[in-house]
Amino acid sequence: MSYNEDIPDNPLPFNESYNATMNTTDSIETDEYCVNCIIVPILVISCLISMLVNVVVIASANWIRCPMTPNLKISLSLAAADACSSSMYGLIIFTETYILPDPGVIITIIEMIRLTGIVITVVHLLALSINHYIGILKPLHYNAIVTSKKVCAVLWLLWIFPTITLMSICAAFDRDGELRDNFILNTGNVPGFMTKFNFRMTFSSLFFVPVFIMVVCYTHILIVVKKQQNRWNNLSRIGSTRNKGKPSQKISRERKQLEGNVRAIYTTMLILGSCVIGWTPALLNYILACAEDCYVSGEELIHLNREHEKLILVMRLIDNLLVIMKMLANPIIYSIRMKEIKDGTKRMMLAISGLFCRSDRNHLNSSGYYYQSRLQNSSGTSTLQVQMSLKSSRNGNHVTLNREAENSFL
């Protein structure tokens, strides 16, 4: 950390100049100690906690007993994306602070993975919003549109497409071959195009454009849901008048299904809100302040960093904390709002504690779940589902329940 000071017209006496220099040196050492020994460990530990919480959510899928819906599959893939992002975020903070000044091309690789993680998370949220949009506007055709094979293909694309897109953008802006030279010569220099406004604005559009599309989708969904709820309220009043307090069973069943779907929509909107709050300040800072062509750039940026060092430090700390808190908030939202993940996590904890405690083992066995994971019992589960379907087809009373379960996208 270097500080360049202009020599004043009337120099201070030697003792005052010496004291001022010592105070400046002490201040610099105090700031470096605060950053390296307090702030950075807090950020790295927070990233580690965020990664572990997301891993717990992913692992709970092994103990989910009900069939996995498209919404649940995309949510678990989103948790995996958050786990990768938090680990890369903590790794780049740790590497830049404690590793040697020139760690080589590893810094560039980690930075590209971190940027890709942001895009991967956003497209996962976009996929969830499209899934909800189809489920609300096309409920009768949902099973024909959203099939298991299509969901599997989409999950692959949600990881592959952002990676290829970011690599293509970097290749398009790397006209001088700096990024290529970093890989060939194993240098840790940040490519010049990454510090310019055009690249940063292009990358940020990969976040803001999908967010705008999601806002439009959910606004339309909420309008449709509100109209449907008003229509069913009117039908319920008419039905209760005709049937002397006995509302239509079909309307009650459809309303219950819609309420479950709306709960899933609100869960995704909470996750979207955490992403907007967590990433918008950091991305705005990423766009507005850079080495060239930004609103604050060049000598003005150097002067700002020099004159308001502590303020800039606090702002960057807040940006980093918001990003990390966003990655930590998502799995907490899953665990509270999504019943499948909540129950799966509870069974997983009982299974782990059951290895050491007999009472927990008996409690898990009494609930009908015998330490056999979803993956270990996949063939048995599918056979059971086929048998249930055959039985239900013979009994007309249960066919309605099966169709009702199929139409739900929760």
Q: What is the CATH number of the domain that holds 161?
A: 1.20.1070.10
The verdict on residue 393 lying in a domain is no
Clarify whether residues 140 and 281 are in a common domain.
yes
pLDDT tens track for 23-63: 444 555 666 667 777 888 888 898 999 899 999 989 888 88
What is the pLDDT, as a whole number, of residue 306?
82
Clarify whether residues 183 and 87 are in a common domain.
yes
Clarify whether residues 229 and 354 are in a common domain.
no
Clarify whether residues 232 and 198 are in a common domain.
yes
Report the chain's mean pLDDT, rounded to a whole number: 74
pLDDT average, residue stretch 338-345: 83
Number of domains in the chain: 2
How far is Cα 192 from Cα 291, in angstroms, rounded to an integer? 9
The two tokens of residue 271 are 């996750």
Clarify whether residues 172 and 259 are in a common domain.
yes
Clarify whether residues 116 and 131 are in a common domain.
yes
CB 151 within 8 A of CB 94: no
The verdict on residue 234 lying in a domain is yes
Clarify whether residues 313 and 355 are in a common domain.
no
What is the pLDDT, as a whole number, of residue 396?
43
Clarify whether residues 273 and 342 are in a common domain.
no
pLDDT tens track for 165-175: 999 999 899 88
The verdict on residue 116 lying in a domain is yes
Of these ranges, 15-24, 152-161, 283-292, 377-386, the one predicted with the greatest mean pLDDT is 152-161
What is the pLDDT, as a whole number, of residue 320?
84
Confidence of residue 203 (pLDDT cuts 50, 70, 90): very high
Clarify whether residues 149 and 221 are in a common domain.
yes
Clarify whether residues 344 and 325 are in a common domain.
no
Clarify whether residues 332 and 242 are in a common domain.
yes
The verdict on residue 383 lying in a domain is no
Confidence of residue 403 (pLDDT cuts 50, 70, 90): very low
What is the pLDDT, as a whole number, of residue 390?
33
Task: Determine the structural domain holding residue 326 and report its residue range.
Answer: 38-336
CB 201 within 8 A of CB 169: no
What is the pLDDT, as a whole number, of residue 209?
93
pLDDT average, residue stretch 269-279: 86
pLDDT average, residue stretch 125-142: 87
Clarify whether residues 286 and 342 are in a common domain.
no
What is the pLDDT, as a whole number, of residue 39?
81
The verdict on residue 408 lying in a domain is no
Confidence of residue 65 (pLDDT cuts 50, 70, 90): confident
What is the pLDDT, as a whole number, of residue 331?
82
The verdict on residue 222 lying in a domain is yes
* Domain finish residue from 336, 360, 389: 336
Sequence letter at residue 67: P
The verdict on residue 351 lying in a domain is yes
381: pLDDT strictly greater than 70: no
The verdict on residue 386 lying in a domain is no
pLDDT average, residue stretch 346-370: 67
pLDDT tens track for 154-193: 999 999 999 999 999 998 998 888 888 888 877 777 788 8
The two tokens of residue 302 are 């150097």
99: pLDDT strictly greater than 60: yes
